[in-house]
Amino acid sequence: MQMRRWLVSLLVVSALVAGGCSPQETSPSPSDSSSAATTPSASATPVSSPEPANLPRLEGKATVELTVKGGKPITIEVDGTNAPITAGNFVDLVQQGVYDGLVFHRVIREPQPFVVQGGDPQSKDPNFPLEQLGTGGFVDPATGQPRNIPLEIKPEGSASPVYGKTLDTAGIAAAPQLKHTRGAVAMARASIPDSASSQFYVALTDLKFLDRDYAVFGYVTQGMDVVDKIQQGDRIESAKVTKGIENLKQSGAAATPSPSPSPQ
């Protein structure tokens, strides 16, 4: 209980500081953890909501490798079966080279392991202050518009995910299919459910209290020892899709595989 109170206090402060700058994604917010411990009053029968259109989607699974500071690759299995929009967004951004050169700007290990978080495009600029990172998201160069994706959580026993709502807000008692176990990869967002864009985090330990409020879309399958050594300010040297790119669909059409561009 003391550890939980400490996490709540620390992360509420960090979320408020970052969230005051921009409506873009900030951090997993333990202000939602109180609801995670509450049993929904609605029926436990899983329900679904309409799937968003005009966003990349992953139909099946894919494998992504991240290289940080010249170390051995971190391998991530991305699960489009249970999180098609969230997984599709991530794989699409990897394929575009968006993550190449970006910084892990938020690392919390003490007094207990929590997360390492990165993916703010502002961090590609080496002169951008580290302490100001955490508010940026992906802007589509083709349209000049930000790309935000909806909160996407698939309850156990459901045929499809719930979009735009936490499981408690949707009144669903079922647990999520994809859980915050150690090595889980999930999307960071602001307090608005549909505010995730490019920032993601890796769970350094089991974080059950985030399960019902944040979208897990994959798991580190190799290289968790590398994740454990990531420090604030470390850069992603490269991110590439090594398997399953044929499962990425762009607005209903098959994606055209192409090499990821070099960091700018």
| Structure tokens that stand for 65 in this block | 């490798």
Question: How large a percentage of the chain has pLDDT more than 90?
Answer: 71
* DSSP per-residue string spanning 53-74: SSS-EESSEEEEEEEETT-SPE
Could you give the angle at the alpha carbon of 261 between the alpha carbons of 257 and 264, nearest 5°?
165
How much is the pLDDT for 49? 55
Tell me the domains of the chain and their CATH numbers.
2-250 (2.40.100.10)
Tell me: the pLDDT tens digits for 47-96? 445 567 789 999 999 999 999 988 899 999 999 999 999 999 999 999 99
In 10 A of CB 32, how many CB atoms? 17
| Contact present, 30 and 209 (Cβ < 8 Å) | yes
Closest alpha carbon to 16 in 3, 33, 29, 4: 29
Helix, coil or strand: residue 34: helix
* DSSP per-residue string spanning 149-199: B--EEPBTT-SS-EESS-TTTTT--SPBSS---TTEEEE---SSTT-B-S-
- Placement of tokens 């409020």 in the chain: 213
Half-sphere exposure of 237 (CA within 13 A, CB side): 9
pTM of the model: 0.80
Task: Spell out the residues 6+ positions from residue 262 whose beta carbon is closer than 8 angstroms to its own.
Answer: 97, 100
Q: Mean pLDDT, to the nearest integer, of 223-249?
A: 97
Tell me: the pLDDT tens digits for 198-235? 999 999 999 999 999 999 999 999 999 999 999 999 99
